[in-house]
């Protein structure tokens, strides 16, 4: 997986902001590929989505990246095919160790990859933290804080996110 090139990514983000929010998807894809991302030809990315970092980014086929999504890739971010990511979702691979000795509580920086598997749906305002894998066809409810792996076909909600059912359940749980 190729790494993002910060100067090219900066330029791509600048141009993306000038484009219509839900149009010009091929051109947006081309800009992100120019910056080092691997993005499938039929992926749709809103212009207000932002990608930061020098890690790697891979996005599969027929995936939707919604309004004002923020992807911070200090490690690898892999988003599968047929994934829907709602508005204002945060996907971040970096954090800090807690430091009880120094003047700052935020200690040494750490990065861990994030994997979002095929068919997953991430609801508006959700936060996906470092090291998380979202399983195939899993659903993350709006506003959820995901700190651990989400099993395939499960539905998680809340802060912190907890499983409340599966997509095979025939009841309305969201």
pLDDT band at residue 117, thresholds of 50, 70 and 90?
very high
Q: What is the pLDDT of residue 86?
A: 97
Q: 146 pLDDT band (50/70/90 cuts)?
A: very high
Which pLDDT score is estimated for 125?
98
How far, in Å, CA of 43 to CA of 39, rounded?
A: 7
What is the pLDDT at residue 24? 82
pLDDT at 25: 86
Cα(154)–Cα(137) distance, integer angstroms: 8
Amino acid 11: pLDDT:
84
Helices assigned H by DSSP within the chain: 6-16, 25-34
- Predicted confidence at residue 139, as pLDDT, reads 97
22-76 per-position pLDDT tens digit: 788 888 888 898 899 999 999 999 989 999 999 999 999 999 999 999 999 999 9
Secondary-structure class of domain 6-165 per CATH? mainly beta
pLDDT of residue 3: 86
Q: Can you tell me the distance from the alpha carbon of 62 to that of 56, in angstroms, rounded to the nearest whole number? A: 19
Reply yes or no on whether the pLDDT at 17 is more than 60: yes
Catalytic residue among 17, 23, 26, 96: 96
67 as an active site residue: the answer is no
What is the rounded CA–CA span in Å between residue 2 and residue 85? 22
Q: Exposed, middle or buried: residue 17 (CB in 10 Å: 0-12, 13-18, 19+)?
A: exposed
Residue 174: is its pLDDT beyond 60?
no
Domain boundaries, the chain: 6-165
């Amino acid at each position: 997986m190729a790494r993002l090139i910060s100067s090219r990514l900066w330029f791509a983000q600048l141009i993306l902001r000038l484009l219509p929010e839900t149009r010009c998807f091929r051109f947006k894809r081309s800009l992100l590929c120019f910056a080092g991302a691997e993005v499938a030809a039929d992926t749709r990315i809103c212009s207000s989505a932002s990608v930061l970092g020098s890690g790697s980014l891979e996005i599969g086929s027929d995936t939707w990246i919604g309004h004002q999504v923020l992807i911070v890739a200090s490690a690898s971010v892999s988003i599968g095919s047929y994934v829907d990511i709602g508005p204002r979702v945060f996907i971040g691979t970096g954090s800090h160790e807690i430091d009880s000795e120094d003047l700052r509580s935020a200690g040494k920086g750490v990065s861990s990859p994030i994997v979002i598997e095929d068919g997953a749906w991430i609801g508006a305002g959700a936060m996906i933290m470092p090291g998380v894998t979202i399983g195939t066809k899993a659903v993350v409810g709006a506003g959820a804080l995901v700190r651990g792996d989400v099993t395939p076909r499960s539905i998680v909600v809340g802060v912190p996110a907890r499983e409340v059912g599966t997509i095979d359940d025939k009841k309305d749980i969201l």
